[in-house]
């Protein structure tokens, strides 16, 4: 075994949401355990892997072999085209028809293998098929490992905006193998760190400083360090989900940076990465909050320094009119206001109900693109 592939202890984080408890397994070289984890957590006789065209050729065969060795009858996998542009009702319908054709029952298991899009699509398909069957999330991107695979949010996009159709459906288990990150392009890995920075701002100032000194995407972090980063992020999200599974209060803070970030993402027709958009949205909001006196200038500067260290954008060239058009369709909107997550200090965030007109005024000084 090479030094690069030396054994690293797997960390298991227990999530105890109101609708059900499950374990998140974070390790190095653990894809071969997916079958055993699924068997212990979900049971069932049949399973079907849902994946996409980039990830499937890399990992699906090995995961299916693991499932077969655990006693599952493995149905023909379902593969959809990679990319956020395919996270649609049409793709979802194709997946649901595929599960029906493979004659899965509500006791059988869907395995969502891939990044955040696959986790959302596979999770929502499992939530809807026969009114719900177990899903095991096997995230292969950093973004999916630290964020979307944990917490039970599943969704597809509409033309009006991102994640507007979905359901809460907690997984039976999550298996995150950090060695999958070796096949992730550096640009995509860097993009994913946007959510890591967000978690650090919310709950771990020390991790924020570490991220500034040692960027995740520079390729120098070994498996043990990556396992630690992923597990710590899962713990942060776990604590929020345990307290507020359905986003009625505390969980809304996980939307830090997302109100503007989702607008940037939608305005780009999803050509920009989610993490990059969240990072830009986080910085725009932090600077606006500093100007409004809702946080200190130092807090905004430290957030921006951490984002810049990852090679992520700290702003956008889009104009206020275009961004606010998408914010108006955000699912966090309430009448003529939106719930905005404000970083009061590192490690502390609150939700403010901000009128749309006031939000426009807060952010427009930051926007250097088309005249507003």
Residues 204 and 352 in one domain: yes
> Directed axis angle between helix 258-267 and helix 320-327, to 10°?
110
The verdict on 179 and 195 lying in the same domain is no
In this structure, the answer to whether residues 178 and 223 fall within a common structural domain is no
Query: Which is the catalytic residue, given 237, 238, 287, 302?
Result: 237
Same domain, 124 and 272: no
Q: Which of 86, 232, 262, 287 is catalytic?
A: 262
Structural domain range at position 294: 188-372
Q: Is residue 153 flagged as an active site residue?
A: yes
Task: Tell me the pLDDT band of 25, cut-offs 50, 70 and 90.
Answer: very high
- Rounded average pLDDT over 114-142: 97
Q: Judge whether 176 and 139 are in contact, CB under 8 Å.
A: yes
The answer on pLDDT for 1 being more than 70 is no
Please give the tally of structural domains in the chain: 2
Regarding whether 295 and 253 lie in a shared domain, the answer is yes
Return the CATH number at 123. Answer: 3.40.50.1970
Do 38 and 65 sit in the same domain of this protein?
A: yes
Active-site residue (options: 195, 210, 235, 304): 195
Q: Please state the rounded mean pLDDT for residues 154-174.
A: 93
Average pLDDT over residues 141-170: 93
Q: Active-site residue among 274, 302, 304, 339?
A: 274
The model's confidence at residue 3, banded by pLDDT at 50, 70 and 90, is low
Q: For 294-326, how does the pLDDT look when each residue is reduced to its tens digit (9 = 90+)?
A: 999 999 999 999 999 999 999 998 888 889 988
Active site residue 274: yes
> Which is the catalytic residue, given 25, 86, 87, 258?
258
pLDDT at 335 over 80: no
Q: Comparing 173-177, 190-194, 229-233, which segment has the lowest mean pLDDT?
A: 190-194
Between these two residues, 290 and 321, which has the higher pLDDT value? Answer: 290
How far is Cα of residue 305 from the mean position of the Cα atoms in its chain?
22
Task: Give the model's confidence band at 368: pLDDT under 50 very low, under 70 low, under 90 confident, else very high.
Answer: low
User: Does the pLDDT value for residue 228 go beyond 50?
Assistant: yes
Distance CA 321, CA 319 (A): 6
195 is a catalytic site residue: yes
Q: What is the 3-state secondary structure (H, E, C) of 74-122?
A: ECCCEEECCCHHHCCHHHHHHHHHHHHHCCCCCCCEEEEEECHHHHHHH
Task: Tell me, yes or no, whether 58 and 152 share the same domain.
Answer: yes
Give the number of residues written for the chain. 372
Task: Burial-class residue 20 by CB neighbours within 10 Å (0-12, 13-18, 19+).
Answer: middle
* Whether residue 253 is found in the same domain as residue 180: no
Q: Is 334 a catalytic residue?
A: no
Query: pLDDT-based confidence at 217, cuts 50/70/90?
Result: confident
| 152 has pLDDT over 80 | yes
Claim to verify: residue 175 and residue 301 sit in the same structural domain = no
pLDDT bucket at 365, cuts 50 / 70 / 90: confident
196 neighbors 216 (Cβ within 8 angstroms)? yes
pLDDT classification of 131: cutoffs 50, 70, 90: very high
Catalytic residue flag (residue 251):
yes
Catalytic residue of the set 3, 90, 131, 213: 131
Question: What distance in Å separates the CA atoms of residue 137 and residue 149, rounded to the nearest whole number?
Answer: 6
- Residue 240 pLDDT more than 70? yes
Output the six-digit token pair for 369.
Answer: 């693109």
Give me the mean pLDDT over the 127-133 stretch: 98
Claim to verify: residue 139 and residue 207 sit in the same structural domain: no
Residue 337 sits in a domain of what CATH number? 1.20.1090.10
| Domain boundary residue, one of 164, 184, 204 | 184
Contacts of 265 (CB under 8 A, 6+ apart): 162, 272, 274, 277
Q: Give the distance from CA 291 to its chain's centroid.
A: 29
For the chain, give the mean pLDDT.
92
> According to the per-residue pLDDT averaged within each range, which of 158-162, 172-176, 269-273 is highest?
172-176
User: Is-catalytic flag, 237?
Assistant: yes
Do 130 and 265 fall into the same domain?
no
Q: Do residue 236 and residue 299 come from a single domain?
A: yes
pLDDT at 142: 95
Domain termination residue (choose one: 141, 164, 184): 184
Contact present, 45 and 73 (Cβ < 8 Å): yes
| pLDDT at residue 188 in the model | 87
Q: Choose, from 255, 265, 287, 304, the residue flagged as catalytic.
A: 255
Mean pLDDT along residues 218-238: 91
What is the per-residue pLDDT across 26-66, written as a single tens digit (0 to 9) for each? 999 999 999 999 999 999 999 999 999 999 999 999 999 99
- pLDDT for 371: 35
pLDDT confidence of residue 332: 65
């Amino acid at each position: 075994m090479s030094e690069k592939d030396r054994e690293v202890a797997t960390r298991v984080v227990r999530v105890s949401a109101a609708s059900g408890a499950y374990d998140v397994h974070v390790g190095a070289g653990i894809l071969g355990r997916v079958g055993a984890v699924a068997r212990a957590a979900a049971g069932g006789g049949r399973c079907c892997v849902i994946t996409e065209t980039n990830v499937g050729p890399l990992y699906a065969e090995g995961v299916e072999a693991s499932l077969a060795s655990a006693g599952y009858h493995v149905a023909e996998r379902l593969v959809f085209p990679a990319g956020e542009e395919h996270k649609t009702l049409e793709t979802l319908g194709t997946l649901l028809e595929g599960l029906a054709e493979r004659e899965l029952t509500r006791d059988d298991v869907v395995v969502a293998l891939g990044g955040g899009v696959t986790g959302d699509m596979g999770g929502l398909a499992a939530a809807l098929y026969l009114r719900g069957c177990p899903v095991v999330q096997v995230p292969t991107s950093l973004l999916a490992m630290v964020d979307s695979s944990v917490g039970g949010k599943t969704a597809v996009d509409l033309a009006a905006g991102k994640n507007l159709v979905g359901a809460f459906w907690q997984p039976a288990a999550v298996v995150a193998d950090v060695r999958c990150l070796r096949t992730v392009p550096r640009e995509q890995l860097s993009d994913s760190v946007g959510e890591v920075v967000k978690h650090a701002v919310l709950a771990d100032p020390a991790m924020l400083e570490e991220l500034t000194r040692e960027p995740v995407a520079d390729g120098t972090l070994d498996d043990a360090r990556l396992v630690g980063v992923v597990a710590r992020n899962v713990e942060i999200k776990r604590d929020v989900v345990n307290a507020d599974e359905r986003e009625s209060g505390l969980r809304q803070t996980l939307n830090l940076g997302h109100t503007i970030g989702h607008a940037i993402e939608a305005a780009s027709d999803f050509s920009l990465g989610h993490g990059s958009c969240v990072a830009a949205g986080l910085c725009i909001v932090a600077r606006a909050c500093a100007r409004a006196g809702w946080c200190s200038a130092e807090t905004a500067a430290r957030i921006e320094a951490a984002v810049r260290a990852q090679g992520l954008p700290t702003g956008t060239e889009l104009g206020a009119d275009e961004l606010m058009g998408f914010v108006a369709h955000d699912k966090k909107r309430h009448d003529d206001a939106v719930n905005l997550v404000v970083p009061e200090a590192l490690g502390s965030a609150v939700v403010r109900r901000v009128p749309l007109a006031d939000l426009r005024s807060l952010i427009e000084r930051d926007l250097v693109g088309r005249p507003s």
